[in-house]
Structure 1
């Protein structure tokens, strides 16, 4: 029998109580990883970890606010102590606020919150995890970006944060490569998560813009994370992998307009 890709790995995932983070936790655990499910919501984190354990896999849950350096360092320390080391960090936690109608009405608090969680959180987690990832000999950081960091889909602060996360991924790759740690970014398009609850009609309209004819599912992103975190991608670092159904490669709206 072929060994699972993550046998013996210790993994920490932020924002893993639902959506992409939860799907990633389930997938990596199914392939042998011991997963620390962190989230601001204790109930959500506990539920995902319990589901994984019920499947005969290893998972722990912990509340972690990625905007709090002490909480981040405590989460990394807990993972290292519980699993005997840390091999993979998945930076998934984010904040995304609605834009004001007029840009001049945007609030500093909103701007700072989105950047501090979506970008600052990945910075704090990567900083705390780095020595342990380097010590593992197979360390990998996989961060979750967004097509918002590539093109205009709204959400000023969130988009700026995701663009910054792509840059952070590249600089981390350059710094950490000689230490044996890889850093990569997954760039999702529209994903069917709780953020779209009650907006099924919008998702149906959006689906028509995707060359592959549908929006993504959390599992689509989890599979990309698993690839980049595994030894299958051992010569891949500093890259941004678009998992977006072709949205940023093909202007479907324009093509439809000119072809009738």
Structure 2
């Protein structure tokens, strides 16, 4: 496939899980792909090697999304080195998996969740919006719990992901006149390090789906590649559930 040849894509949180497979798919489809990562240099290098195997240019930029001052320099570096930007995938996210009761969640955890999941996505979109070329794409990765919270212990994460719905719809209106589309993918239970298919909560999540199974990162990435393509040019402001029927 070569539907994205000549396009430049930036995937935040692209060193593992959903972000890593989105980066690979975009490269497979022809895009030059830049990823950001927080800590794991080895994982980022592996994704970068896969991008290069497709014959595409790309690089991995270490950035702490919780630090607002790091975001504009990432966009500026991409523009300077690649001459422009066509696709932004806001994938970087944070979820507290400590199981701390609601009443005991520390302010530090609240701030980290908001700064990465909400503020980070907003700022990346804000800074990218002045550089995205005609026909540009912003793809936000939300969550099925942004619409429906199936159990306790998810309040903070659900709050942050429900905000992405408003971000997506607002950006679609603000950027539509420039020919830029903005859409959201809301995954259900996906087999990742954070929520593995053999983890302690697997049975709970599988039972929530209509299909009785976890999804794969590849299934999310395939939808992202479609939204990045010209075939999706008339889709904007949409929230696409890739959740196996979790919220059906």
TM over 0.5: yes
Deviates more, 1:29-38 or 1:154-163: 154-163
Q: Answer whether contact 1:9 1:88 (CA < 8 A) is retained.
A: yes
Determine if the alignment matches structure 1 residue 151 to structure 2 residue 148. Answer: yes
Shift of 1:236: 0.8
Determine if the alignment matches structure 1 residue 85 to structure 2 residue 84. Answer: yes
- Which residue of structure 2 lines up, in the alignment, with residue 252 of structure 1? none
- Which residue of structure 1 lines up, in the alignment, with residue 24 of structure 2? 26
Instruction: Tell me the SS of whatever aligns to 1:32.
Output: coil
Q: Answer whether contact 1:185 1:239 (CA < 8 A) is retained.
A: yes
What are the within-5 Å matches in structure 2 for residues 66-81 of structure 1?
Answer: 66-81=65-80
Instruction: Tell me the SS of whatever aligns to 1:221.
Output: helix
Instruction: Tell me the SS of whatever aligns to 1:67.
Output: coil
Determine if the alignment matches structure 1 residue 61 to structure 2 residue 60. Answer: yes
- Which residue of structure 2 lines up, in the alignment, with residue 6 of structure 1? 4
Separation of aligned partners in 2, 1:115 and 1:52: 30
Q: CA RMSD in A?
A: 1.7
- Which residue of structure 2 lines up, in the alignment, with residue 203 of structure 1? 202
Give TM-score scaled by structure 1 length.
Answer: 0.89
What are the within-5 Å matches in structure 2 for residues 85-124 of structure 1?
Answer: 85-98=84-97, 99-101=99-101, 103-124=102-123
Separation of aligned partners in 2, 1:28 and 1:198: 25
Q: Deviations over 1:186-235 (max 9, x none)?
A: 00000000113484453245323321221110011111111112111101
Separation of aligned partners in 2, 1:229 and 1:116: 26
Instruction: Tell me the SS of whatever aligns to 2:4.
Output: coil
Q: Answer whether contact 1:172 1:183 (CA < 8 A) is retained.
A: yes
Separation of aligned partners in 2, 1:220 and 1:201: 23
Separation of aligned partners in 1, 2:200 and 2:50: 30
Segments of 5+ residues of structure 1 without an aligned counterpart are 250-260
- The structure richer in helix per residue is 1
Instruction: Tell me the SS of whatever aligns to 1:128.
Output: helix
Separation of aligned partners in 2, 1:59 and 1:203: 35
Q: Answer whether contact 1:142 1:225 (CA < 8 A) is retained.
A: yes
Determine if the alignment matches structure 1 residue 36 to structure 2 residue 34. Answer: yes
- Which residue of structure 1 lines up, in the alignment, with residue 175 of structure 2? 176
Separation of aligned partners in 2, 1:225 and 1:152: 24
Q: Answer whether contact 2:189 2:195 (CA < 8 A) is retained.
A: no
How many corresponding residue pairs?
A: 244
- The structure whose Rg is larger is 1
- Which residue of structure 2 lines up, in the alignment, with residue 227 of structure 1? 226
Shift of 1:26: 0.3
Deviates more, 1:232-241 or 1:76-85: 76-85
Shift of 1:24: 0.3
Shift of 1:180: 1.7
Shift of 1:184: 0.7
